[in-house]
Amino acid sequence: MTKLGLVSVGFRRHFLRLLLTGLSIVVAFLLFCLLSAVHKSFTAGVAVAGKDRLMTRHRVSIIQSLPMSYEAEIERIPGVVDATPMSWFGGIYQDPKNFFPQFPVKPDEYVRMYPEIRLPKDQLDAWMKTRTGAVAGRTIATRFHWKIGDRIPIQGTAWRPKTGGATWQFDLVGIYDGANKETDTTQFLFREDYFDENRVYGKGMVGWYGVRVADPAKAAQVAKAIDDRFANSPTETKTEAEGAMAQSFADQVGNIGLMVGSIMVAVFFSILLVAGNTMAQSVRERTAELGVLKAIGFTGGEVMTLVLGESLLLACLAGGLGLLLGYGLVPLIGKGLKNFLPIFFMPGRDVLLGAAIVLVLGVLSGLLPALQAMRLRTVEALRRGG
């Protein structure tokens, strides 16, 4: 019999115990896939943040506004390529639970600032020509079955139109896609000039500025120069990397990375104990068999390899199955959660991390039993087995 055959024989010795241990490992890696997708949902904004982009907001709080005149001032600062204003609209479409982000922006500047937003040129041209024009991300357009040419009513909460009432009317002239999975395609964007001219109050003010710098390596110096420019003014600024701002929003929910990491460490430590105990019991039950192998010429190293092989085989089969099932289930679960977590997928690097954890689990769970098997003396093993 080959060594692989010996591994498989030991592997099948106690089927029920093996099955239960394997199912525990499968569940652990299913959980790993789901938590990986949840973590990505809350940190996607950080991942796609441009290294050459800064965000300039009010020094006290992002809910306080900045003058529109700051745009030209910021663009005159050395190292700044472009600046574009953005504001939070916070309107309601049909029902308050239909939440999605809405921003008044300058169309041409916004598309240049965020090249990951893929909007066809003809639709951008239509947006530029249509005062009440708006574009929506593919996800939100699909969710509400919007198509180009639709009239979209958004009920203002804080921002009311001069026409009276609370409803703003927008003409959908474009639907944008993302350059990658992490691009947010749930946004509703409309023209800043239309918004500014037709709101009841706040004219001439914006929420914050997106700023592109020429050299990402000098972003910190440019940020300081922007804040120094408006120091001691009635509306002082705070400028930070776009990723830092996105991270601050994610941190309002909590330290997602720490929470996910803590859960996974606890789960895999428990699984390590379960798998290690399974392998230890298997070695104890096969003491006589291991003694026979040594008696017919197997070295301690070869016996150790057989036990480790069983442990790795168990971890790879069960862990691999868990990863495969999890990777397949995440998109299905994501469809059900798209209204709450629009970005929900398992990154490729986490698949590789999961594969590495499978191998580590296999080695660690079988290491101590394998060392015990290697150190067994032939006579003692045969006596204990008898």
> What is the C-alpha to C-alpha distance for residues 367 and 361, in angstroms, rounded to an integer?
10
β-sheet bridge partners, residue 137: 176
Q: Are residues 140 and 278 in the same domain?
A: no
Task: Name the nearest CA neighbour of 138 among 153, 123, 128, 125.
Answer: 123
> Domain end: 209, 233, 251, which one?
251
Q: Are residues 287 and 300 in the same domain?
A: yes
β-strand pairing of 167-178 with 133-137: parallel
Using the predicted structure, report yes or no on whether residue 204 has a pLDDT greater than 90.
yes
> What is the C-alpha to C-alpha distance for residues 106 and 285, in angstroms, rounded to an integer?
73
Using the predicted structure, report yes or no on whether residue 150 has a pLDDT greater than 50.
yes
Predicted confidence (pLDDT) per residue in 2-50, tens digit: 555 555 555 566 677 778 888 988 998 998 888 888 877 666 544 444 5
Three-class SS of residue 180?
coil
Q: Are residues 190 and 85 in the same domain?
A: yes
- Share of the chain residues as helix, strand and coil, in percent rounded to the nearest 5: 55, 15, 30
pLDDT computed for residue 46 by the predictor: 46
- Measured in whole angstroms, the distance separating CA 290 from the mean position of its chain's CA atoms is 47
Predicted confidence (pLDDT) per residue in 248-274, tens digit: 555 554 556 667 777 788 888 888 888
> Domain end: 203, 225, 251, which one?
251
Q: At 369, is the pLDDT very low, low, confident or very high (cuts 50, 70, 90)?
A: confident
Whether 113 and 212 have beta carbons less than 8 Å apart is answered as yes
pLDDT computed for residue 48 by the predictor: 45
Task: Name the nearest CA neighbour of 113 among 246, 185, 211.
Answer: 211
pLDDT computed for residue 96 by the predictor: 85
Cα dihedral 274, 275, 276, 282, rounded to 10, equals 110
Range in 46-60, 188-202, 349-363 with the lowest mean pLDDT: 46-60
* Number of folded domains that form the chain: 2
> What is the C-alpha to C-alpha distance for residues 343 and 116, in angstroms, rounded to an integer?
15
Radius of gyration of the chain (CA): 30
Q: At 106, is the pLDDT very low, low, confident or very high (cuts 50, 70, 90)?
A: very high
Predicted confidence (pLDDT) per residue in 46-78, tens digit: 444 457 899 999 999 888 999 999 999 999 999
pLDDT computed for residue 40 by the predictor: 74
Q: Are residues 261 and 272 in the same domain?
A: yes
pLDDT computed for residue 231 by the predictor: 93
Which of 179-183, 345-349, 350-354 tops mean pLDDT? 350-354
Q: Are residues 72 and 186 in the same domain?
A: yes
Q: Are residues 337 and 207 in the same domain?
A: no
Mean per-residue pLDDT, 206-229:
92
Q: Write the DSSP assignment of 192-247 as a string of letters.
A: HHHHHHHBSS-TTEESEEEEEES-GGGHHHHHHHHHHHTTTSSS-EEEEEHHHHHH
> What is the C-alpha to C-alpha distance for residues 99 and 139, in angstroms, rounded to an integer?
13
Mean per-residue pLDDT, 112-125:
94
pLDDT computed for residue 9 by the predictor: 57
β-strand pairing of 66-67 with 237-241: unpaired
CA atoms 361, 362, 365, 368: torsion sign: negative
pTM for the model: 0.69
Mean per-residue pLDDT, 285-300:
67
Q: Are residues 103 and 229 in the same domain?
A: yes
Q: Are residues 101 and 137 in the same domain?
A: yes
Identity of residue 129: K
Return the structure tokens found at 263: 């859960």
CA atoms 142, 144, 149, 153: torsion sign: negative
Q: Are residues 266 and 197 in the same domain?
A: no
Q: Are residues 95 and 154 in the same domain?
A: yes
> Domain end: 220, 251, 282, which one?
251
Which of 161-165, 205-209, 301-305 tops mean pLDDT? 205-209
Q: Are residues 33 and 61 in the same domain?
A: no
pLDDT computed for residue 61 by the predictor: 84
The 8-class DSSP code of residue 308 comes to H
Using the predicted structure, report yes or no on whether residue 339 has a pLDDT greater than 70.
no
Q: At 341, is the pLDDT very low, low, confident or very high (cuts 50, 70, 90)?
A: low
Task: Compute the mean pLDDT over every residue in the chain, rounded to the nearest whole number.
Answer: 83
Q: Are residues 171 and 224 in the same domain?
A: yes
CA atoms 60, 66, 70, 75: torsion sign: positive
Name the residue range of residue 131's domain: 48-251
Using the predicted structure, report yes or no on whether residue 376 has a pLDDT greater than 90.
no
pLDDT computed for residue 16 by the predictor: 76
Return the structure tokens found at 142: 């699909």
Q: At 149, is the pLDDT very low, low, confident or very high (cuts 50, 70, 90)?
A: very high
Whether 130 and 190 have beta carbons less than 8 Å apart is answered as no
> What is the C-alpha to C-alpha distance for residues 178 and 115, in angstroms, rounded to an integer?
9
Using the predicted structure, report yes or no on whether residue 379 has a pLDDT greater than 60.
no
Can you list the alpha helix ranges (DSSP code H) found in 54-106?
A: 70-75
Mean per-residue pLDDT, 199-209:
93
β-sheet bridge partners, residue 133: 171
Tell me the percentage of the chain whose pLDDT exceeds 90: 41
Return the structure tokens found at 15: 């089927």
Whether 194 and 107 have beta carbons less than 8 Å apart is answered as no
Return the structure tokens found at 314: 């168990």
